[in-house]
A = this chain, B = another copy of it.
């Protein structure tokens, strides 16, 4: 089958590789119907050292079950399924507490002998716990929105969930990428009163407004902090959803968070150490949380929202490529010509 392999920064290839097969009795093999390129795929696209072996790419997909292992329950060949971007048994203590990205038997696509999703087929470990079926007669126009439940929309949702967004609160979202816009949509769903979107790309912030942003702040750094403080009567934002992952975004976050407020991060931190002492978080009693989104915990509740048209998170897709053209998809996202790229194998 054809699959996407990255051999180094900027070097994305589609190659013929062996078809995936069942390895464990808890595996399934899924034929990928729709996949996409993730903002987090751009990190290696910009910085991966050249490699002989290459890395299988892609971790967001919708597909049709082709084979199931002998211990797989609740899934049948032919089922249309959504996969979270991380697999999990959905039964271990951490899964039961809603943190499936910390599953004791879980892991990541594209690592540890498991392939990537920008491919014709993929092996899914812990298939019973991981895959969530959707009605197979679903309107095809809804498939992009259902695909966002694999990662991007529910990662934005996780930010808002951990931030405990409540009706009447002011929420500031840092970052106008697809996750940031998803966080706007989720905060709007949760009843936030005022949603300030920090971003400077008009096409993106316009979609942010459609998703529920009430204010847009294009300034960054100290100017951006000053703008948000002005918009909040000098008090700061109850909740800050940080969807970038770079240090300047973190610094903005603690600059604008209100005393007693929450900074919830879903942008994968490109730093390890950061200010947390009296002058940043502690003095304000600010809460810092977030992490890799356990989207598995949220998929079942989100499916009916998509099917009913209550939410339409698939609007983040503004470009589409075939699997053979996946390198062009990376280029479009890296250059910011596209917000988020669908890949159709």
Contact = CB atoms under 8 A, between A and B. Distances in A.
Interface of A: 93-94, 97-99, 101-102, 162, 235, 258-260, 265, 268-269, 271-292, 294
A291 B283 contact: yes
Contacts of A291: 281-286
Nearest to A234: B104
Contacts of A279: 272
By CB atoms of chain B within 10 A, which of A101, A277, A286 has the most?
A277
B290 A260 contact: no
A276 to B, nearest CB: 5
B289 A259 contact: no
A272 B265 contact: no
A278 B285 contact: no
B269 A288 contact: no
A288 B289 contact: yes
B276 A276 contact: yes
A268 B282 contact: yes
Contacts of A273: 273-277
Contact of A94 (B259, B277, B289): B259
A156 to B, nearest CB: 15
A141 to B, nearest CB: 34
